[in-house]
Amino acid sequence: MPSLNNTELLSTLSSTTPIVLTIAGSDSGGGAGIQADIKAISATGGYACSVLTALTAQNTQGVTAIYPISGEFVEQQLDAVFSDLNVIAVKIGMLSDSDVIHSVAKKIKQYKPQYLVVDPVMVATSGDLLLQSSAIESLKSELLPLADVITPNLPEAAALIGSKVPQNEDEMVAMINELRLLGAKSVLLKGGHLEDDSNSTDLFICADAVERLSMARIETRNTHGTGCTLSSAIASYLAQAHELQAAVTLGKHYITQAIIHADELNIGQGHGPVNHFFALNTKG
Q: Hey, what domains does the chain have and what are their CATH numbers? A: 16-281 (3.40.1190.20)
Average pLDDT of the chain is 91
Q: Tell how many helices (H) and how many strands (E) occur in the chain.
A: 11, 9
Render pLDDT for 143-193 as a digit per residue (tens, 0 to 9).
999 999 999 999 999 989 999 999 999 999 999 999 999 999 999 999 987
- Check if the beta carbon of residue 34 is closer than 8 Å to that of residue 48: no
Is the pLDDT assigned to residue 1 strictly greater than 90?
no
User: In which band, very low, low, confident or very high, does the pLDDT at 198 lie, cut at 50, 70 and 90?
Assistant: confident
Helix, strand, or coil here: 114? coil
Residues 6+ away with beta carbon under 8 Å from 261: 274, 275, 278, 281, 282
Q: Taking each helix axis as running N to C, give the angle between helix 244-260 and helix 33-43, from 0 to 180 degrees, rounded to the nearest 10.
A: 110
DSSP assigned state of 283: -
- Check if the beta carbon of residue 193 is closer than 8 Å to that of residue 165: yes
Q: What distance in Å separates the CA atoms of residue 210 and residue 173, rounded to the nearest whole number?
A: 9
State the pLDDT at residue 48.
98
Nearest to 136 by CA among 144, 148, 127: 144
pTM above 0.85, yes or no: yes
* Cross-strand partners of 21: 49, 90
Helix, strand, or coil here: 131? coil
User: In which band, very low, low, confident or very high, does the pLDDT at 284 lie, cut at 50, 70 and 90?
Assistant: very low
Query: Average pLDDT, stretch 48-67?
Result: 94
Is the pLDDT assigned to residue 216 strictly greater than 80?
yes
Among the ranges given (111-125, 144-158, 248-262), the one the predictor scored with the smallest mean pLDDT = 111-125
User: In which band, very low, low, confident or very high, does the pLDDT at 12 lie, cut at 50, 70 and 90?
Assistant: very low
State the pLDDT at residue 5.
52
Q: Which of the residues are catalytic?
A: 190, 223, 225-228
- Check if the beta carbon of residue 169 is closer than 8 Å to that of residue 201: yes
Among the ranges given (126-130, 148-152, 160-164, 219-223), the one the predictor scored with the smallest mean pLDDT = 126-130
| Beta-carbon count within 10 A of 192 CB | 18
What letter represents residue 113's amino acid? Answer: P
State the pLDDT at residue 126.
59
Q: What is the DSSP string of 179-233?
A: HHTT--S-EEEB-TT-TTSSEEEEEEE-SS-EEEEEEEPP--S--BTHHHHHHHH
Nearest 5 degrees, angle CA 118-CA 119-CA 123? 150
Among the ranges given (33-37, 79-83, 94-98), the one the predictor scored with the smallest mean pLDDT = 94-98
State the pLDDT at residue 135.
87
Is the pLDDT assigned to residue 225 strictly greater than 90?
yes
